[in-house]
Amino acid sequence: MTRLDAKIPSGPLEAKWDRRRFSEKLVSPANKRRIKIIVVGTGLAGASAASTLGQLGYDVECFCFQDSPRRAHSIAAQGGINAAKNYQDDGDSVARLFYDTIKGGDFRSREANVYRLAQVSTQIIDQCVALGVPFAREYGGQLANRSFGGVQVSRTFYCRGQTGQQLLLGAYSALCWQIERGRVTMRPRTDMLDLIIDEGHARGIVVRDLVTGQITAHTAHAVVLATGGYSNVYYLSTNAIGSNVTATYRAWKQGAAFANPCFTQIHPTAIPPAETQQAKLTLMSESLRNDGRLWVPTALSDRRAPGAIPSSERDYFLERRYPGFGNLVPRDVASRAVKSICDEGRGVGPGGQGVYLDFSDVIEQQGADVVRERYGNLFDMYRRITGEDAYQTPMRIYPAPHYTMGGLWVDYNLMSTVPGLFVIGEANFADHGANRLGASSLMQGLADGYFILPYTIGHYLATTRLDLPVADHSVSRAAVERVTGRLNKLLQSSGGRTAASFHRELGRILWDHCGMARSDSGLNRALREIPSLREEFWRSVVVPGSGETFNQELEYACRVADFLEFGELLCHDALYRKESCGAHFREEHQTADGEPQRDDERFAHVAAWEYREDGPPILHKEPLTFEFVQPTTRSYQ
Amino acid sequence: MKFTLKVWRQRGPDDKGRFAVYEARDVSPDMSFLEMLDGVNQSLIPTDEEPVAFEHDCREGICGSCSLVINGVPHGPDRGITTCQLYMRQFSDGATITIEPWRARAFPIIKDLVVDRRALDRVMQAGGYISINTGGAVDGNVLLISKEQAENAMDAASCIGCGACIAACKNASAMLFVAAKVSHLAALPQGNPERARRVMAMMEAMDREGFGSCGNQYECEAVCPKNISVRFIATLQREYLRAGIVESGLRTEPDSADQESA
């Protein structure tokens, strides 16, 4: 039976994190060497956690499925990282970053967690500078900032359009140092396929070596999952092809509660899909909305080239609907506005699936060179994919699944409902509520990995038993058998359909019924369609080759099999949450002018789902209490 | 559009390998090169033939996973991009396209078009970092770094570690890769204390891994998806020379602010 105790320290908001750090028990330096910690995933959260834990003296074993830890998907984050430095002296503060994040998340996140995130944000920048991250600088040599959606201060630090890359390379370099010192053992090309639990505590993982196909159990005193989000459940998303839900989903099946899976972020500015065989969607950074203006023709069937439409016949719909924030409204608000414009039939480009993102005003005012310096790599990327030059003609953009706020439930110490299982970065649910603000995921990943987990995990380790189950212990053997049984089943299946065809079909169901707008009837339909698709998958999927070799199709089929189960959990949660909040928009719950209607009386809680083998998942509620901010109607007008 | 593909197939590191010929039909010019390959694989899987193994992940040119030699050129005919950013509109309808893996002694083939690039990680582990602990860093604005310096460091730091420079070089030299990392940290004051030790250790690791010597042919720069300039190789040579002087105990600069250990 799952019990949700968030373990939030008492006292004033500003003092909670200090209090917790002081009250935590420490592990003596002599004992640390004898304590083994497994870290799965090497994105910003995983790499920063593994390197910091290694530095503290623990025996760390780190896993990733990529060929090198440097390739984890954090690498692709473009725009920037937030921190309450107030270098611009424009009124920013820890309290303001806290408030913006709580409000941006539509009052569905924990006050204490978010405040701590804002507090440590400033340390992150200092740490990254010290590691040699080449942040953009002003002529005077100080760090530069840019603005991002949902806020009115300039607090985003950046490295051109490759901030995620540079931050990850910084964390990767710290990891390299610990590997060289023998503190971290790195295992690339290794896929986590199950969790080992002994007497109620997480004590290891089962992995498949992706080169040899060997299945092995690895045990440890604690397991840290930093395995990212599940946007690829939609098939087409801005995530890397390999991003998957398997690690967190397998942990769910072993007893870790999954919180708010229906909070999935659809990013407003991706390049619209061009053809049916497309494998992924490419994001155009939110920072483009600093200078680009979104519009569509005012008239319904205006088929003129964008340049031929005079400004009096253009509808700058975000500026019209949200004069306060204009083009810089948060992602969920912008995505819904784009969707409603396209639903009205005013979308542009093939199939009317798109709106213009236009830079002609800023090019006219400041010159093309300024735009090239700020966004050159994005304009190049756009040209390559579409064949169009955005310096001459507006970009066309359309929303795409991008990030998932939901994830495994964790307490204030980032520990899941399974003792000894910690979850950090996008894989947990804690900080972004129902919608994440731009440039906050990098902040959260590094906050968890560098500054929070290394403290909180110590308390668990200092208060737990130190004997380890060996690799051929019965619990390890049982976990290995679960994994091999499943892989064999996939390899023996003898139909004629590829795993990708099932994935695409699942993605279509979820995008139609559990995407930007959700309804009772649509979700119920999805809940009928997914189980039958899953049955069909196990009957007729074909996976060539054997399990004892490098077999990419087997890796992929394994992930699709988990998506086919997880999709159902996603819809269950979306159906349960009968309100519209943040990225979760229920058609039944909206105002007359189409704005979302939150229901604080019935839904101001975290919905954490517990796995049951026989029957639907069980719901546990963690009430969200707001002591320091008053939930208001979130307005960006 | 349709194409004839000559694809390198190799079951494992000990297999001899051979070219296999496949037809790619119904290709749209808006497809990426990798989506075209996906299509070929989708048609192979139901016939129970193993699909062509190739590496890819982010598919937006930043993770550095994709690694195909297309018609003899790493990352294909277009400049300044990775394989995943190549679109079929770059090819003429009906063309024959040859696809091979990165070939270098330090990159053993795992299967088909997938190679083992861990040698690059080991070079990084030898010294491609600033060894500071988490916590206790001073305020980011304490160090003033000129815009020019930051931009120069960023130019070098843009390297995605794909290894195209090595695949293009007839000596399979990793000089451009090592130059990018060394120049990035040498350009910043934070990198100064370990400047000499870093370049020495990374050069030594590079030799140990079996990468060849630089032949000054600039093929590396020509195929680099991030347009990393060979001028950084000049920086690397200078840093290496400088490190030798530091190790010998002579002063390198008149009034060096930071004490540097060799």
Residue A400 contacts residue A583 (beta carbons within 8 Å): no
> Rounded to an integer, what distance in angstroms lies between the CA atom of residue B86 and that of residue B31?
9
β pairing state of B3-9 and A618-623:
unpaired
| Segment holding A264, helix H or strand E | strand A264-270
Considering CB atoms only, which of B134, B141, B147 is closest to A52? B134
Q: What is the pLDDT of residues A299-309, one digit of tens each?
A: 998 889 999 99
Report yes or no on B64 lying in a domain. yes
Considering CB atoms only, which of A76, A139, A277 is closest to B38? A277
- φ, ψ at A401 (rounded to 5°): -55, 135
Say if residue B259's pLDDT is above 60. no
**Cβ separation B150–A137 shorter than 8 A:** yes
> Rounded to an integer, what distance in angstroms lies between the CA atom of residue A423 and that of residue A430?
10
Phi-psi region of A147 (alpha: psi -120 to 50; beta: other; left: phi over 0): beta
Instruction: Tell the burial category of A470 from Cβ atoms under 10 Å away from its Cβ (0-12, 13-18, 19+).
Output: exposed
Range A543-549 average pLDDT: 94
The answer to whether residues B126 and B219 belong to one domain is yes
Average pLDDT, chain B: 95
Confidence of residue A627 (pLDDT cuts 50, 70, 90): very high
Q: Per the structure, how many domains does chain A have?
A: 2
* Radius of gyration of chain B measured on its C-alpha atoms: 21
Residue A81 contacts residue A157 (beta carbons within 8 Å): yes
pLDDT reported for residue A405: 98
Model pTM score:
0.97
Confidence of residue A239 (pLDDT cuts 50, 70, 90): very high
Considering CB atoms only, which of A85, A160, A180 is closest to B125? A180
pLDDT reported for residue A452: 98
Confidence of residue A351 (pLDDT cuts 50, 70, 90): confident
Q: What is the pLDDT of residues A78-103, one digit of tens each?
A: 889 999 999 999 999 999 999 999 99
What SS3 state is found at A484?
helix
> Rounded to an integer, what distance in angstroms lies between the CA atom of residue A382 and that of residue A372?
13
The answer to whether residues B75 and B125 belong to one domain is no
Least confident of A280-289, A599-608, B106-115, B119-128: A280-289
The residue from A371, A401, A431 where one domain ends is: A401
pLDDT reported for residue B261: 52
The answer to whether residues B83 and B196 belong to one domain is no
Say if residue B113's pLDDT is above 90. yes
B50 contact residues in A (CB cutoff 8 A): 544-545, 551, 553
> Rounded to an integer, what distance in angstroms lies between the CA atom of residue A317 and that of residue A309?
15
> Rounded to an integer, what distance in angstroms lies between the CA atom of residue A247 and that of residue A445?
17
B147 contact residues in A (CB cutoff 8 A): 137-139, 141
The answer to whether residues B101 and B129 belong to one domain is no
Say if residue A275's pLDDT is above 90. no
- φ, ψ at A153 (rounded to 5°): -120, 170
What residues does B22 pair with on adjacent strands? B5
Say if residue B37's pLDDT is above 80. yes
* A159–chain B Cβ distance below 8 A for any pair: yes
Least confident of A273-282, A357-366, B156-165, B217-226: A273-282
Considering CB atoms only, which of B50, B61, B140 is closest to A545? B50
Q: What is the pLDDT of residues B199-223, one digit of tens each?
A: 999 999 999 999 999 999 999 999 9
The answer to whether residues B159 and B225 belong to one domain is yes
The answer to whether residues B91 and B128 belong to one domain is no
* A241–chain B Cβ distance below 8 A for any pair: yes
Average pLDDT, chain A: 95
The answer to whether residues B107 and B229 belong to one domain is no
pLDDT reported for residue A214: 98
Residue A283 contacts residue A402 (beta carbons within 8 Å): yes
The residue from A401, A421, A448 where one domain ends is: A401
Residue A523 contacts residue A234 (beta carbons within 8 Å): no
What is the extent of the structural domain holding A284? 268-401
Q: What is the pLDDT of residues A355-409, one digit of tens each?
A: 999 999 999 999 999 999 888 888 988 999 999 999 999 999 999 999 999 999 9
The answer to whether residues B146 and B203 belong to one domain is yes
The answer to whether residues A392 and A283 belong to one domain is yes
- Put simply, the chain A residues between 522 and 551 with a CB less than 8 A from any chain B CB are 542, 544-545, 549-551
Query: The domain spanning residue A597 has which CATH number?
Result: 1.20.58.100
Q: What is the pLDDT of residues A558-600, one digit of tens each?
A: 999 999 999 999 999 999 999 999 999 999 999 998 889 999 9
Query: The domain spanning residue B213 has which CATH number?
Result: 1.10.1060.10
Q: What is the pLDDT of residues A172-230, one digit of tens each?
A: 999 999 999 999 999 999 999 999 999 999 999 999 999 999 999 999 999 999 999 99
pLDDT reported for residue B260: 56
The answer to whether residues A276 and A386 belong to one domain is yes
The answer to whether residues A396 and A483 belong to one domain is no
ipTM score assigned to the predicted complex? 0.96
